[in-house]
Homo-oligomer: A and B are copies of this chain.
Amino acid sequence: MKRAAFAALLLATTSAAHADTLIDNVRGQTIGANGQVETFTGLLFDNAGVVKRVIHAGDKKPKPRKEYQYHLDGQGRVMLPGMIDAHVHVMDIGFAALSLDLSDTTSLADALNRIAKFSAEHPDRPWIIGRGWNQELWKLGRFPTAAELDAVTGARPVWLQRVDGHAGWANSAALKAAGVTAATKDPAGGSIDRAPDGSPQGVLVDAAMELVDAKVPTPRPEDRDLALANAQQILFKRGVTAVADMGTGIEDWQAYRRAGDANKLYVRIMAYARGIDQMILIGGPGPSPWLYQDRLRLNGVKLYLDGALGSRGAWLKAPYADAPTTRGLPQLNQTQLGNLMSRAAMDNFQVAIHAIGDQANATVIGAITDLAETYKGDRRWRIEHAQIVDPKDFARFAASGAIASMQPVHQTSDRLMAEARLGPDRLAGAYAWKSLKAAGVRLAFGSDAPVELPDPWAGLSAAISRQGPDDQQPGGWQPQERVSPAEALAAYTADAAYAGFAETRFGRLAPGLRADFVLVDTDPLTANPAQVRATKVLETWIGGGKVWSAETGMETGTTSKR
C-alpha cells in the first residue's frame, strides 16, 4: 500500500517532467473566456497537446524538470491561437493546387496563353481542369466562349470554373461530352450562356454546371489523399490550424478518415455535409463524435439557398442594377428549405445555409425563426456568406440567433462588381460586418478557399480596413463596416470555434484546450492593415506538435502521440 502510493507519486512527478513543454518569452495574445483580449508571456502544455497553464506577466515561473521537461525560448515572437477558417472547401484547396490556376490572369489573352501552356505540360491528363477566371477582372464585358478555348486546346475537354465557383467555362469537347446543345434546356436553378441562335457559347451558370461536372472523370482515392496532404500544407503555411469544411461528401470524409487512421490528419476539420443524403451517410443518426483527438467531426449539413453575386445567381429583393430583368433565383422554395433544415435539426445536426442575396438572407432568417420554435436548445444555425443583408433585417438576424459566417476578403475582391450588381442604394447592407456585430450577431470569419486564398492575415487586414492588397479604396470601402482588430481576431479564433461547437476544445489558449497556436512576426492587434496583411507565419503548432515552420516547411511524422 505504502509502496504503491510512493510509486504513484513518483510516477506523477517523473511523468510530468518528461511530458510537458514550456514555451516562454512570447508576446502572446488570445481571446479570453470573457471574449476580451488577454495577453500572456508563456504557454505550458502536456504531452497530449493540451494546455496546462497560460503564463502571464508577473506570474511565478514554472520550474524546469519539476513542472516541465522541454523548454523553448519564444525569442519575443508573437504567439496567437491557431487561426480558424470558418468557411473553406478542404479538398478543393488541394485539388486547386493540382490544377490550372487562372486567378491572377489579367486578360482573356493572358488566360488563353496560360491554358495552352498548362495543356502542353500535362499531355497525360484526359481533361484539363482549372479555376479562378473572372471576366470582370479581364474587363471583358461578357463571358468567354468555347470557341476561344478551342483555339488553344484542341480536342481534349477543358472545364474551368469561375473564381466564385458559380459558373464554368467549357470548350467544345467538354460541351460535347456533356451533351449540351442548342436543344438543351436551362435546368432549374441554372442557365446556359447562349448565342442569339440558342446554341451554347461555353459558359454554364450554377445548376447548369452539373451537366459538365457529371462528365469530369472522378478523382481516384490516391488523388484525394494527395489533395488533402496539399491542402494541409497550404493551410499550415498560413497559420490555419482548424477549418469548417463546407460541403463534405462521403469521398472527402473517407479521405479524412484514411488520414486520421494513418495518423496523418493534422488539421482540425469541422465538416458540413454536402446535402442531406451525404449528411445521413456520413453521420448516421446524428453528428459524429469528435475523432482523432478533436481533429475531425461531422457537425452538420451545408445547404444552398441561392447562388453568387458575380454570376447573378444571388437572390435579391429587387432586380440587379446591371440586369434589371432578373433578381437572381432561389435554389429551394420555402417548403423545401424548411423541410431540409428540419430533417437535419431533428437529428441534432447543425445547419449551415449559403445565402448571398438580401432576399436569400431574409428568407433564411425567417426559416430559422420559424424552426427555432420546434428545435429548441443550442442549435447555432449558420448563415454562410450573409453577403447582402437588408439593413431592415439586421435586428431579425440577431434575434434569430444565427451565426454570420462571413469572408472579409470577398468584400475587397467583389467591391466593384458589387457596386455594379447592386447600384449605390443597397451597399449599406453589403458585407456589413460591423452592423451585424453591433446588432448582436456573432461573426465567424473565413476565406471560402479556394475561391480566395486561405489567408487569415489578408482577412484580418480587410476586416479592419475595408481595403484590399491594392489599398483600394482610399479610406476603405463603406468604412463604417470595419471591425476592430480584437473583433477580427475573435472571429478568426474563438468565435469560429464556437460556430463549430468546438469552443471547449480549441480556438483560445487556455487550460484544458488544445495547444494550437502560431508564432508570427506581427501583432495583429497593434499593426497597421498593410503590416497585418504581410504577416509572416514562423511556426504553426497543432495539439502541441509543430506541423510547419518557415525554416523547414512541413514537419513530417505522424500524430500518433498527439
Contacts and interface: CB of A to CB of B under 8 A. Distances in A.
Given A250-B250, A261-B291, A220 B285 contact: yes
Contacts of A3: 10, 14
A325 to B, nearest CB: 43
A284 interface: yes
A225 B288 contact: no
A282 B254 contact: yes
B281 A254 contact: yes
A474 interface: no
Contacts of A10: 3, 7, 10
B221 A284 contact: yes
| Copies of this chain, whole number | 2
Nearest to A254: B284
A255 interface: yes
Interface in A258-312: 258, 261-262, 280-285, 288-289, 291
A250 B281 contact: yes
Nearest to A283: B221
A230 to B, nearest CB: 16
A222 interface: yes
A284 B262 CA distance: 13
Contacts of A92: none
A221 B285 contact: yes
Contacts of A527: none
A284 B225 contact: yes
Interface string A217-232: 0001110110000000
Interface residues of A, number: 28
A255 B281 contact: no
B11 A224 contact: no
B14 A285 contact: no
A221 B280 contact: yes
A251 interface: yes
Contacts of A255: 284
Nearest to A218: B280
A214 interface: no
A512 B124 CA distance: 48
A183 interface: no
Determine the main DSSP class of A at the interface with B: helix
A301 B4 CA distance: 51
A98 to B, nearest CB: 16
Interface in A236-260: 250-251, 254-255, 257-258
Contact of A285 (B222, B251, B257): B222
A7 B6 CA distance: 10
Nearest to A291: B261
A220 B11 CA distance: 48
Nearest to A7: B10
Contacts of A220: 285
Contact of A284 (B7, B258, B284): B258
Contact of A11 (B7, B261, B262, B280): B7
A291 B291 CA distance: 13
Interface string A8-35: 0011001000000000000000000000
Contacts of A282: 254
A33 B539 CA distance: 51
Contacts of A254: 281-282, 284
Contacts of A261: 288-289, 291
A224 B281 CA distance: 12
Contacts of A4: 14
A29 to B, nearest CB: 35
A224 B283 CA distance: 13
Counting chain B CB atoms within 10 Å of each CB, the highest count among A11, A282, A283 belongs to A11
Interface in A520-555: none
Nearest to A4: B14
Contacts of A221: 280, 283-285
Most buried by B among A7, A251, A257, A262: A7
Nearest to A9: B7
A547 to B, nearest CB: 22
Contacts of A281: 250-251, 254
Contact of A225 (B222, B225, B280, B285): B285
Contacts of A224: 284
14 contacts: A3-B10, A7-B7, A7-B14, A220-B285, A221-B280, A221-B283, A221-B284, A222-B284, A222-B285, A224-B284, A254-B282, A257-B257, A258-B288, A261-B291
Given A3-B10, A7-B10, A11-B11, 6 more contacts: A3-B14, A4-B14, A222-B285, A225-B285, A254-B282, A262-B289
